[in-house]
Amino acid sequence: MTHFRPIPLLVPHLPDRHALAPYLEQIDHNRHYSNFGPLNHALEARLASLFEEHATHAVHIATTSSATLGLELTLHNLDLPPGSGVVVPALTFVASLTAILRAGYVPVIADIDPDNWLITPEIAAEAATKTGARAVLAVAAFGQPQNTQRWSAFQQKTGIKVVIDAAGAFGSQWTEAADIPVVYSMHATKSLAAGEGGFVASGNSDLIDEVRQLSNFGINLDTHAGLPVGHLSQVGSNAKLSEYHAAVAHASLDQWPAQAALRQRIHRTYRQTLDASCGEHLQWQAGAILAAPTTFCVGMAQEARARLEQLCHARGIATRRWYQPLLHQHAAKVEPTIKLPVPVAESVASGLIGLPFSSFMTQDDITHVAEAVGLATANTRIQSSLTLDSHHG
Ligand SMILES: Cc1ncc(COP(=O)(O)O)c(C=O)c1O
């Protein structure tokens, strides 16, 4: 019998101690460990100039201790009446839901597009008409970027505020529209990894100043604010990025172009291998080629997924049903929540599976996974695409 080497779902790839050393030496020298220190300041400036390469306006950055806190503070800053509805797609990580609730709003769980698996302005408009929702948290699911220009047009036309949760989309999602804030994660599993961390990017410098103030408890540090420095201006939290995390983010950013190219190459080969062995049984998320993929998700018939999970378990290949249960299924005990029908999300999720992916994957690993996928999908049909066809018309 063939012996299979266990293949983990994800292997984080952070800079090693040698790459970190120059930044840690700066910390030793500065003796500044948090509270908007020099490394954090330099990181925000580096990120801003990177984002400005993809925008026709100035981009401002506020780092946070996680994307979740970045989302919470950005949503809080929308200053909507407590209990306002915020539309969110059913297919996303739970942090999108918890951020809305903790900002004092009510999640309105809506459907996704059958091809790119994202919430669209059309879906959000329909959800807002039905429920009176005042904002949308549009998610760049699995790192697939949202179209900021289209969301900006939606925001201007409807007056409904839009925030983009691009936690896993660094390098693929930019801030082309100045009025749409975008939130990113620097968690260890992301392509720009600091261990923990996040940041908010926006063309609106006032919004970024507010998020920064909220990340520091809400304390006023502005001598021109008409309020004494050190006084509480609003109710924030402690969501500051420490200098140590900023150091890791700098070293990660140094390595990012090489990391991104490697991830892209592995992803391409992986997908080609699967397509060659059983492509007719698989369904992929439509959209842009990702700059630095961090997950590998594929759709198949529900019974094929069940077979694949068993096979993978037996062969030591780790899998995960990413973003499942869907938000409305989690929401059984999480109130208040408005649950709209989400037939497309349910159909997509019924056959969706996350396969192992990391920058350490070898051709052998890919071959082992492809063999299991080929066996599991043999003689199956992609039910989900048949089901989905009915939603096109
Ligand atoms: C869509 C989405 N939103 C938010 C988060 C939370 O990010 P963080 O771990 O930085 O809080 C994640 C994490 O994977 C995510 O995938």
Domains and CATH numbers, the chain: 17-251 (3.40.640.10), 256-392 (3.90.1150.10)
- In ligand 1, the atom with minimum distance to the C-alpha of 189 is 14
CA distance 51 to 66: 19
For atom 3 of ligand 1, the residue with the nearest CA is 167
Q: Determine the pLDDT at residue 382.
A: 63
For atom 9 of ligand 1, the residue with the nearest CA is 187
Cα of 95 from ligand 1 centre, angstroms? 6
351 CB less than 6 Å from ligand 1? no
89 CB less than 6 Å from ligand 1? no
Q: Determine the pLDDT at residue 333.
A: 75
CA distance 107 to 202: 23
Annotated catalytic residues are 190
CA distance 53 to 230: 36
- In ligand 1, the atom with minimum distance to the C-alpha of 323 is 16
Instruction: Determine contact, residues 59/78, Cβ cutoff 8 Å.
Output: no
- Regions of the chain short of the pLDDT cut 50: 384-393
Cα of 68 from ligand 1 centre, angstroms? 6
- In ligand 1, the atom with minimum distance to the C-alpha of 70 is 11
139 CB less than 6 Å from ligand 1? yes
67 CB less than 6 Å from ligand 1? yes
